[in-house]
Amino acid sequence: MVALVWGAADDPPVAAVMSWLERLGAPHLRVADDVSGLALHGDCDEPTAGTLIHGAGSLPLDRVTGLYVRPPDDGAAPFGALDRGLVALAEGASARVFNRPSAMASNHSKPYQLRRLAVLGFAVPETLITTTPETARAFCASHGAVIYKSVSGIRSRVTRVGPAQFERLEEVRWCPTQFQRHVAGVDVRVHVVEDAVFACEVRSQADDYRYPGEGDAPAHLAPLALPEDVRARCLATSAAFALPLTGIDLRRSNDSRWYAFEVNPSPAFTCFDAAQADAIAETIARALLAPR
Amino acid sequence: MLLILSAPDDPITHLLAARWAHHASQIVTGDSLACAGWDYVPGRATQARVALPHACVDASAITAVLTRISHVFPEHLSQIAEEDCDYVAQEMTAFLTAWLDELPCPVLNRPRPGNLSGPSWPQARWRQLAASLGHHVSRARLDAPAAHPLGFPAHAQVWPTAVVAGSAVFGSVAPPLRMAALALARRAGVALLGVFFDAHGADAGLVGVTTTPDVHEPEVTDAVLALLLARAP
């Protein structure tokens, strides 16, 4: 019974899960590029038949009960043999995996996610992806308050289309650009860990609470009890996306509708309410050790 | 109208477009997406507008799509500043993933996030799936691009290959290998699949797969065209 954590020691979610594994006195091992002396021996076709060589010895992979996958996203180094082996393990192991790489790929297309979120019963904002400046201008004119953000999983700041951006709409002709009607309301971040649901209300003056503007007060975070139907929808979302660990971006609009924007496959849950983040880390750690 | 989504320098694409000229085939590359005329509202794929080299058309005019790339690659964007190519390529890929996913006409193969032409599985998962179906898996491996952990293989392979197009299987491998390739494609839910083996004989092992196989042989081209046309509305 060993928990594997694939991630950087200084990454807060990884550190939080590692801390709980230590508090539980559970055998665990962190793997990453910054850990020296690591090697994966074995056949990728049978990932659990392999052995992980590490500084303190070796670990037969059939002893791994759970794997937390949060590799560093620094975009620097190409994937090496160890990473390819870990991808194969995460993809094919019968152990509990948070999350399998192929399921995490849904985050590469926000409109792909958005359509599925609508099917799951969430409200979704009117959205346009366009390379046509005239169409972009017409969308902005018809909806009044409009934001733009990346189409892909590349991290981008959600930005309101103001006069300065409106003047630059001619530039959309070079790249499909995503516009959405701004939905006024209160952000709610929901984390799902298997059948556990944690909701956190985020009150912020900024269009993107991750990036408060100059003079904006920091976002106010508070745990929130979700309505039962929304909670059930979040669990259904986690299942539909095959992401047992996920961070779902919701907004309760001023007219009390629940909008969904995105499903995060590798959520930075430590950015939200501290006590809740600790509970999420504990839930992940315990799940990594539990037999399936 | 048939769309062929492709790299600009793919000789097979140009061959297909010439053979399918009477089906109004059109090649779409990354550069095609870097121009005004594309409009897409998620949930309304057939109402999208598509910018082709000589005209903008409604997506409802598209009868089928053949996808010959896993991603839009930065190096295929000749009109974009070099420092922006990575970002633009990912945005284009994300847009195409969503639009092609919901387009109701035949799309070979339907995209999945991470791969415009089918499942975004690492080669190891394909081999695991083959093994679970009872097929012999080779110890040989495809050379995966080092920069991509999912290891989509290059097209030019020296391995004996079976190409699945719907229920037809082509290639000079033994019949049991053809059946194995067909079973694998069906289990994976793809209509088009190239399956590589380490030999031609019945006891050969499966090496790996590609979701963008070489379809230049006339009989394969015809089978792919039949798939695209037969399922068109």
Instruction: Judge if B63 and B26 occupy the same domain.
Output: yes
Instruction: Judge if B107 and B130 occupy the same domain.
Output: no
Cβ atoms of A157 and A117 closer than 8 Å: no
**pLDDT of A208:** 73
Greater pLDDT, A139 or B149? A139
Instruction: Judge if B42 and B101 occupy the same domain.
Output: yes
Choosing from B57, B90, B115, the residue where a domain stops is B115
Q: Is residue B17 part of a domain?
A: yes
**DSSP codes of every residue in B174-220:** -HHHHHHHHHHHHHHT-SEEEEEESSSSTTPPEEEEESS----SHHH
Using the beta-carbon criterion (under 8 Å), do A111 and B80 form an inter-chain contact?
no
- The three-class DSSP label of residue A177 is strand
Q: Give residue-wise pLDDT tens across range B53-75.
A: 888 999 999 999 999 999 999 99
Q: Give residue-wise pLDDT tens across range A167-219.
A: 999 999 999 999 999 999 999 999 999 999 999 999 877 777 777 677 777 78
Residue type for B116, please? L
Q: Is residue B221 part of a domain?
A: no
Choosing from B67, B96, B115, the residue where a domain stops is B115
Run of H or E including A236: helix A228-240
Would an 8 Å CB–CB cutoff place B41 in contact with chain A?
yes
Tell me which chain A residue has its CA closest to the CA of residue B118. Answer: A102
pTM, rounded to two decimals: 0.91
Would an 8 Å CB–CB cutoff place B17 in contact with chain A?
no
Q: Is residue B223 part of a domain?
A: no
**pLDDT of A53:** 84
Instruction: Judge if B62 and B130 occupy the same domain.
Output: no
Cβ atoms of B101 and B46 closer than 8 Å: no
Compute the distance between CA of residue A56 and CA of residue B7 in angstroms, rounded to an integer.
47
A40 has pLDDT over 60: yes
For residue B99, the chain A residues in CB contact (below 8 A) are: 111, 129
**pLDDT of A110:** 96
Q: Is residue B227 part of a domain?
A: no
Q: Give residue-wise pLDDT tens across range B134-165.
A: 998 887 666 544 333 334 444 445 789 999 99
**pLDDT of B157:** 54
* Banded pLDDT at A54 (limits 50, 70, 90): confident
Instruction: Judge if B15 and B95 occupy the same domain.
Output: yes
Q: Give residue-wise pLDDT tens across range A251-287.
A: 999 999 999 999 999 999 999 999 999 999 999 999 9
Tell me which chain A residue has its CA closest to the CA of residue B35. Answer: A173
Our count of domains for chain B comes to 2
Q: Is residue B216 part of a domain?
A: no
**pLDDT of A83:** 76
For chain A, the first-to-last Cα distance in angstroms comes to 11
Q: Is residue B139 part of a domain?
A: yes
Using the beta-carbon criterion (under 8 Å), do A102 and B88 form an inter-chain contact?
no
Q: What percentage of chain B exceeds 90 in pLDDT?
A: 80
Q: Is residue B192 part of a domain?
A: yes
Instruction: Judge if B106 and B153 occupy the same domain.
Output: no
Q: Which range marks the domain in which residue B191 is found?
A: 123-210
Q: Is residue B215 part of a domain?
A: no
Tell me which chain B residue has its CA closest to the CA of residue A87. Answer: B149
Residue A108 has its nearest CB partner, among B34, B97, B124, at: B97
Instruction: Judge if B97 and B132 occupy the same domain.
Output: no
Q: Give residue-wise pLDDT tens across range B166-178.
A: 999 999 999 999 9
Instruction: Judge if B206 and B142 occupy the same domain.
Output: yes
Q: Give residue-wise pLDDT tens across range B208-222.
A: 999 999 999 999 999
